[in-house]
Copies of this chain bind each other. A is one copy, B any other.
Amino acid sequence: MNDDQLRQLAQRLRIDAVRASSAAGSGHPTSSMSAAELMAVLFGRHLRYDFDAPDNPANDHLIFSKGHASPLLYALYRAAGAISDEELLSFRKLHSRLEGHPTPVLPWVDVATGSLGQGLPVGVGVALAGERLDRLPYRVWVLCGDSETAEGSMWEAFQHAAHEGLDNLVAIIDVNRLGQRGPTMDGWDLDAYARRAEAFGWHAITVDGHDVAAIDRAYTEAAATTGRPTAVIARTIKGKGVRSLEDAEGWHGKPVKDEAAALAELGADRIGEVRVHVAAPEPDGKPHVFATGGGELPTYERGDKVATRRAYGDALAALGSIRGDVAALDGEVGNSTFAELFAAAHPERYFEMYIAEQQMVAAAVGMQVRGWVPFASTFAAFMSRAYDFVRMAVVSRASIRLSGSHAGVAIGEDGPSQMGLEDLAMFRALHGSTVLYPSDPNQTAQLVAAMADRSGVSYLRTTRNALPALYGPGERFEIGGSRVLRSSADDQVTIAAAGITLHEALGAADRLAAGGIPARVIDCYSVKPIDARTLADAATATGRVITVEDHWPEGGLGDAVLDALASSGRRPAFTKLAVRILPGSGTPAELLAEAGIDAEAIAGAARLLLQEG
C-alpha cells in the first residue's frame, strides 16, 4: 500500500470503530481513533500474518495491550477480510466473538486483554518463545496505551525484554495523553517515555503517530534493530478525525454522540471500503524441537523424608527429559522451589524471571500461546502478586501450570510474610482451575506429570518441610481423586486433610485409635476438582467430618469439602480446622500447634465432635 492508501485505511478503521461502538451503544472509539495510522501502517506494510492459518508457527503476533481499543482491532480484522461487516456490527452483543475487550474466542487473538499493563508482559513471553523455544523469526508487536505505563508490570516487561535482548519485540506506545478520567502523568512528553525505555535498555523511537511515512520508517528501524527491543513512542490525538472528540476529556469509553455526523466528518461516503492484504510469513517456518532423553518420573521409597517441593523439582526435571515441550520459569527462588533442578537439566528451556511474579506468569501465558507447556514457580505467598495475571489467564483460555512452595505456618521461622495462607482460596476461585496439594513425593511427581496434560490454570501447592513418604513408588494418583488412608467399618469420624495436615491427621488418628476411637483419614490431594463421592461416602459412614488445613479458614480445603458435601446432599456434623490467628515466627511444630492444626488439636476436635453427639 502506498502512503495515500495507508491514510485511507486508517480513516476506514476510524469509521468502522465508530460504527461498531455506535451499533453496540458502548465501547471505546476515541481510544481506537488515536492508533488508526499506527495499525494501518503495521497491517499494510510490516505485519506478516496468515489470517487463514492463525496457527501458522511463523506468523507474527499482534497483542492489543490496550484491549479497550477493540473496535480498532475488529476494524482491522474486517479490513483484512477476516470478519464480515455483519460480524463487526455484532460487537459487544451476546455470543458475539467480538467481545468488549479481545479474547481468544477469536482465532487471531492470542490472549485476552483489558486489564491494562498485561499485553506487553505477555508479549515478552511470546517473544521469549520465539527466540529461545520456537527459534523462529516472527515478530511480536504490542500496541500499548500511555496510561498503562503507570502499571509496574510494564516495567517488569521493559526490564526482562532488554535483559533477554528480545529484538523480535516492538512496543508501540500510543501516547494520546488522556486516560479514562483525564490527563496522564506525562502528557505528550514523548522524551520522558523515551528516556525511560532507553534507561531500561531499549531502543526508542519517537514519532508523530498520525504520519504514516514516519511510522513506516520507525517500524523499519525497529525491524532492523538487533540485540534489543524497540519502543515506538507515538504522539497521537485521542478521538483523532472527529473534531469535537479530538484531545477532549469526557469521551473515554463512549460511542460518539452523533454517528452520522461523525461518519460524515470522517469521510465515510468518500472513502468506501478499504481492504488490506496482510503479507503472509515465510512458508518454511518450523518450530524448533528439543531432543529428549526419555526416562521415568522419580519415585521414592515409603518413609523417605522428602519435601514435596523437592519432588516438584525432581519431577519437573524428569518431565523435561520425557517431553520436549515443557519449559520452566521461576521467580528467583529456584533453589527453594527446586526449579533449579530443571534449570540444571534443561538450561535451554529454563527461564529465570527474577523477582517479577507478574512477568513470570505473563511469560508462561505467552509461551503457551505457541503451544509450549510452561511450569512457573515461586513461594505460594508471592503467587498473590500475580493474581490479576492468573485471573486474565483464565479469560485467555490459557493452559499454565503454577507451583507455590512454602505454604502455610509450617514454614516456621521466616514468619507470615512468607507463608502462603490464601493461595488455595485464590486459585479455587477461578473458572476451570485445578488446585492440587500433595502430601507425598510420589504423589507430587505424578500430579506434576498430570498437570502437563491439563488445560486451564493448574496450581500445585507444595510444602517446605521434608516429611516421610506416605505412599509407595507404585501408587497411581489422578487429578480429581483422593486416597483413604485409614478406614474401618466402625469409623466414628472422618478427617479430611491434604499436604502437611494430612501427616498431622494421621497422627491424630493414631491418638484417637489409642483412645478407642476409629477415625477415617482422607487425603484430599485434589482440592479442585475434589473427590465428592469419597467424601460423601465417608460422611455417610461416620456422620462426622473434620477438615484441617494450613490456610486461612475461608476458601480453602474446608470450604471445598463443605461444598462437596452440600452438593451430595450429605449433612454430617462438621468442624473446620484452619489458621485463625495471625502467626509470627517459631518452629514449624510450634506454629502448627499454636494454629490448632496439629495432630493433638485434630484429635481434640474429633473428641469434641463425638461428645456433641
For the complex, is A287 an interface residue (Cβ under 8 Å from B)?
no
Smallest CB–CB gap between A122 and chain B, Å? 13
> Is there an interface contact between A425 and B555, defined as CB atoms closer than 8 Å?
yes
Q: Do A94 and B594 have beta carbons less than 8 Å apart?
A: yes
Which of the 9-residue segments A220-228, A378-386, A506-514 touches chain B? Answer: A378-386
A413 and B92 contact, Cβ closer than 8 Å, known pairs A425-B425, A432-B582, A552-B430:
yes
- Contact sample, A vs B, 16 pairs, CB 8 Å cutoff: A93-B585, A94-B591, A100-B417, A103-B416, A147-B355, A151-B355, A152-B359, A184-B354, A185-B354, A199-B199, A357-B388, A387-B426, A432-B582, A553-B563, A566-B576, A567-B576
Contact between B559 and A99 (Cβ–Cβ < 8 Å)? no
Of A381, A413, A576, which is in contact with the most chain B CB atoms at under 10 Å from its CB?
A: A413
CA gap between A418 and B574 in the complex, in Å: 37
Residues 131-161 of A at the B interface (beta carbon under 8 Å): 147-148, 150-156, 159
> Chain B residues with Cβ under 8 A from A430's Cβ?
422, 552
Cβ distance A388 to chain B, nearest Cβ, rounded Å = 4
Can you add 20 more A-B contacts, CB < 8 Å, to A27-B413, A196-B199, A569-B573?
Answer: A94-B590, A99-B415, A101-B417, A103-B415, A114-B414, A114-B415, A115-B381, A147-B332, A150-B355, A152-B154, A179-B355, A180-B332, A180-B333, A181-B332, A184-B354, A381-B388, A422-B426, A429-B556, A430-B552, A566-B574
> A400 near B: Cβ within 8 Å?
no
Residue in B27, B415, B558 whose beta carbon sits within 8 Å of that of A100 in the complex: B415
Binary flags per residue of A199-226, CB closer than 8 Å to B gives 1, else 0: 1110000000000000000000000000
User: Do A152 and B356 have beta carbons less than 8 Å apart?
Assistant: yes
A429 and B551 CA atoms in complex are apart in Å by 9
For the complex, give the distance between the alpha carbons of A206 and B573 in Å. Answer: 64
Per-residue B-contact encoding for A21-62, CB less than 8 Å = 1, 0 else: 000111100000000000000000000000000000000000
Residues of the B chain whose Cβ atoms lie less than 8 Å from the Cβ of A101: 414-415, 417-418
**In the complex, what distance in Å separates the CA atom of A591 from the CA atom of B150?**
32
> A354–B95 contact, CB under 8 A?
no
List of B residues within 8 angstroms of A567 by Cβ: 576
A262 at the interface (CB under 8 A from B): no
Decide yes or no whether A431 CB sits under 8 A from chain B.
yes
In the bound complex, CA of A344 to CA of B387 (Å): 32
Q: Does A195 sit within 8 A of B, measured CB to CB?
A: yes
Cβ of A370 within 8 Å of any chain B Cβ, yes or no, is: no
Q: Which of A75-83, A229-237, A312-320, A389-397 contacts B (4 or more CB under 8 A)?
A: A389-397
Given the interface pairs A428-B425, A566-B562, the reply to whether A584 lies near B103 with Cβ below 8 Å is: yes
Task: For A156, give its contact among B152, B179, B552, B582 (CB under 8 Å).
Answer: B152
Is there contact, CB below 8 Å, between A95 and B584?
A: yes
The interface stretch among A290-298, A334-342, A465-473 is: A334-342
Query: Are B414 and A422 closer than 8 Å at their CB atoms?
Result: no
Q: Mark A570-589, 1 if CB is under 8 A from B, else 0.
A: 01111010011110111100
Measured CB to CB, the closest approach of chain B to A65, in angstroms, equals 12
Which residues A427-467 have CB closer than 8 A to chain B? 428-432
Contact status A115-B417, CB under 8 Å? yes
CB distance from A380 to the nearest CB of B (A): 11
Interface flag for A84 (CB, 8 Å): no
Minimum C-beta distance from A440 to chain B (A): 25
User: Is there an interface contact between A385 and B115, defined as CB atoms closer than 8 Å?
Assistant: yes
Task: Tell whether A96 is near chain B: CB-to-CB under 8 Å.
Answer: yes
B residues near A105, Cβ cutoff 8 Å? 584
Q: List the B side residues contacting A335 at CB < 8 Å.
A: 180-181
Are A554 and B429 in contact, CB atoms less than 8 angstroms apart? yes
Residues of B within 8 A of A130 (CB): none
- Does A198 lie at the interface of the complex (its beta carbon under 8 Å from any beta carbon of B)? yes
What 3 A-B pairs are tightest by C-beta distance, nearest first? A152-B152, A114-B417, A571-B571
- List residues of chain B with CB within 8 A of the CB of A92: 413, 415, 585-586
Is the beta-carbon distance between B200 and A196 smaller than 8 angstroms?
yes
A123 in contact (CB, < 8 A): no
Which of B93, B566, B590 lies in contact with A586, CB distance below 8 A?
A: B93
Q: How far is the CA of A156 from the CA of B340 in the complex (A)?
A: 30
Is there an interface contact between A555 and B552, defined as CB atoms closer than 8 Å?
no
Nearest CB on B from A175, distance (A): 14
A563 touches B585 (CB 8 A): no
Q: Is A71 an interface residue (CB 8 A)?
A: no
Alpha-carbon separation in the docked complex, A425 to B559 (Å): 11
How far does the alpha carbon of A301 sit from the alpha carbon of B340 in the complex, in Å?
A: 63
Contacts of A395 in B (CB 8 A): 416-417, 582
Q: Are B563 and A413 in contact (CB under 8 A)?
A: no
